[in-house]
């Protein structure tokens, strides 16, 4: 048996359960078979709702672009797109040279949440719960990627689309764009982990206002409450204007300069500080420190006697 720390006490679990717990922890998922959840079973159901795609472009710069692509439905998530997103997150988890990822919507709008046609067809509570667990797993893994992530919000991010923005480390909003947790208007609350992440981002009082009022958050309000990290510039001279994606890439590149192992280590220490107890975070930080100490970037910096002026 293993001793596992709960919030305040230790309890014993069997080696088999401990192995599963560690596998789940390292894969970054929240739910697995021990919660009666079968990823494969829900995938099959989701694939019955086709349409759209999630496109992944990995660039030599180490910055990938993940595009939610279903313009006829304002980039709403079909079931097939949910499955596609999970596959693209797996590819990003295995991207050795990656440092950052930008999540955007196709055709200048972000994402209008679940495809309402699929939601209607899956409105029994068991399927709804399974879809919710599947999306929580995927979005938790997205947030836990060893890459610095930015949601580039143009147009509308509604419902599940608003939840998706919170599964990135940062949010950049174009002027005129809106993030809106419309769930209350649908007789719902967020289920893709968006409420928990929103509280972490803006505090419980602001989260209560945004969810309770289904508030339309524009770029100004977004920056004011700390939901948005920047506003994209609009240059009326079309010839000189940078696209939203170009602006997001240059914004992100200030944090992704340097070798991939170092950028990944930066993200990992912040992630452990964000998610673990202080003692666990300190131990994890020591291990991550060990992975870069004496590494090529460290040795090169020592040899060049660099000054940080």
Ligand X SMILES: CC[C@H](C(=O)O)C(=O)SCCNC(=O)CCNC(=O)[C@H](O)C(C)(C)COP(=O)(O)OP(=O)(O)OC[C@H]1O[C@@H](n2cnc3c(N)ncnc32)[C@H](O)[C@@H]1OP(=O)(O)O
The footprint of ligand X (CB under 6 A) covers 73-74, 76, 112-117, 119, 156, 158-160, 163, 182-183, 186, 188, 190-192
Closer to ligand X by Cβ: residue 211 or 263: 211
Query: Any bridge partners for residue 103, and if so which?
Result: 66, 151
Q: How far is the CB of 34 from ligand X (least distance, A)?
A: 25
Between CA 257 and CA 264 the distance in angstroms is 11
Closer to ligand X by Cβ: residue 171 or 264: 171
Report the residue number whose CB is nearest to ligand X: 113
Q: How far is the CB of 205 from ligand X (least distance, A)?
A: 22
Closer to ligand X by Cβ: residue 74 or 248: 74
Closer to ligand X by Cβ: residue 31 or 192: 192
Q: How far is the CB of 73 from ligand X (least distance, A)?
A: 4
Closer to ligand X by Cβ: residue 13 or 214: 214
Closer to ligand X by Cβ: residue 4 or 189: 189
- The answer to whether the beta carbons of residues 132 and 159 sit under 8 Å apart is no
Between CA 62 and CA 9 the distance in angstroms is 42
Q: How far is the CB of 298 from ligand X (least distance, A)?
A: 44
Q: How far is the CB of 128 from ligand X (least distance, A)?
A: 9
Closer to ligand X by Cβ: residue 113 or 146: 113
Q: How far is the CB of 103 from ligand X (least distance, A)?
A: 16
Q: How far is the CB of 206 from ligand X (least distance, A)?
A: 19
**H or E element in which residue 212 lies:** helix 204-212
């Amino acid at each position: 048996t293993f001793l596992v720390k709960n919030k305040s006490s230790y309890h014993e679990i069997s080696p088999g359960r401990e192995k599963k717990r560690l596998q789940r922890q390292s894969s970054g998922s929240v739910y697995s078979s021990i919660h009666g959840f079968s990823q494969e079973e829900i995938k099959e159901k989701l694939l019955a709702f086709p349409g759209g795609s999630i496109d992944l472009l990995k660039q030599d710069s180490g910055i990938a672009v993940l595009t939610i692509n279903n313009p006829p439905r304002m980039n709403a998530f079909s079931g097939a797109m949910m499955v596609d997103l999970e596959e693209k997150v797996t590819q990003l988890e295995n991207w050795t040279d990656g440092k950052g990822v930008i999540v955007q919507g196709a055709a200048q709008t972000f994402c209008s949440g679940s495809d309402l046609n699929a939601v209607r067809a899956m409105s029994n509570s068991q399927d709804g719960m399974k879809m919710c667990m599947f999306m929580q797993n995927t979005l938790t893994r997205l947030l836990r990627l060893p890459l610095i992530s930015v949601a580039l919000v143009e147009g509308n991010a509604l419902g599940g689309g608003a939840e998706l923005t919170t599964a990135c480390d940062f949010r950049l909003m174009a002027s005129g764009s809106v993030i809106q947790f419309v769930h209350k208007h649908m007789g719902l609350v967020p289920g893709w982990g968006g409420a928990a992440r929103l509280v972490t981002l803006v505090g419980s009082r602001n989260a209560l206002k945004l969810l309770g009022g289904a508030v339309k958050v524009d770029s100004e309000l977004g920056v004011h409450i700390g939901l948005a990290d920047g506003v994209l510039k609009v240059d009326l001279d079309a010839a000189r204007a940078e696209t939203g994606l170009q602006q997001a890439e240059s914004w992100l590149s200030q944090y992704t300069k340097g070798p991939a192992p170092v950028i990944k280590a930066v993200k990992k220490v912040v992630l452990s500080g964000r998610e673990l107890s202080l003692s666990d975070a300190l131990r994890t930080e020591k291990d991550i420190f060990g992975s870069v100490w004496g590494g090529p970037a460290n040795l090169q910096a020592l040899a060049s006697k660099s000054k940080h002026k």
